[in-house]
């Protein structure tokens, strides 16, 4: 007899963890995708703001205003779709955006048998300067030392 037949099975995701050398080798690609993520996010926000500004103008909107508002909404949706595509592209590599507008992403690795994250900063000349544990607050930044540059196992259950 099955227990809880309507309950969905719990899935375990195997998180790919990276070595420092692998993260460094992928840096140009990660930078490209994080940059695209940022650009699409900024474009989506700009178009949404433009559409809101047109919608909240005082008085009755004329034909040109209505068309401009619809164009801004459409362009905002298209930018949001491209943004989501870039998010998915990073997630396929088990890289996660921390703050897309600031160009921050997290790349998982194992340190002292704990899940940790290299903090990728698009605008830092040394984009892998910092790291944090999974349990640390989001704004925690620890300097990367020789210990974090060591190798990690290739997979880990998360």
pLDDT value at residue 25: 96
Query: Helices 63-92 and 27-55 sit at what angle, rounded to 10 degrees?
Result: 160
Give the whole-angstrom CA distance, residue 98 versus residue 115.
Answer: 16
Give the whole-angstrom CA distance, residue 82 versus residue 86.
Answer: 6
Q: What is the pLDDT of residues 25-77, one digit of tens each?
A: 999 999 999 999 999 999 999 999 999 999 999 999 899 999 999 999 999 99
What predicted TM-score, i.e. pTM, was given to this entire model?
A: 0.81
Confidence of residue 150 (pLDDT cuts 50, 70, 90): confident
Task: Tell me which long-range contacts 91-97 makes (C-beta under 8 A, separation of at least 24).
Answer: 93/16, 93/26, 94/15, 94/16, 94/17, 95/30, 95/120, 97/34, 97/37
Q: What is the pLDDT of residues 126-148, one digit of tens each?
A: 999 999 999 999 899 999 998 88
Task: Tell me which long-range contacts 12-15 makes (C-beta under 8 A, separation of at least 24).
Answer: 12/157, 13/158, 14/155, 14/156, 14/157, 14/158, 15/94, 15/108, 15/115, 15/155, 15/156, 15/157, 15/158
Confidence of residue 152 (pLDDT cuts 50, 70, 90): very low
């Amino acid at each position: 007899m099955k227990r809880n037949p309507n309950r969905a099975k719990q899935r375990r995701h195997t998180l790919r963890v990276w070595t420092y050398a692998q993260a460094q080798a992928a840096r140009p690609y990660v930078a490209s995708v994080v940059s695209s993520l940022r650009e699409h996010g900024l474009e989506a926000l700009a178009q949404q703001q433009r559409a809101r500004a047109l919608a909240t103008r005082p008085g009755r909107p004329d034909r040109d205003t209505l068309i401009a508002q619809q164009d801004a909404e459409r362009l905002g949706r298209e930018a949001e779709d491209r943004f989501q595509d870039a998010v998915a592209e990073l997630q396929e590599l088990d890289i996660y955006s921390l703050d897309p507008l600031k160009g921050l992403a997290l790349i998982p690795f194992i340190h002292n048998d704990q899940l940790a994250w290299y903090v990728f900063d698009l605008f830092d000349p040394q984009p892998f300067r910092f790291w944090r544990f999974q349990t640390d607050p989001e704004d925690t930044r620890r300097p990367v030392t020789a210990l974090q540059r060591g190798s990690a196992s290739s997979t880990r259950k998360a």
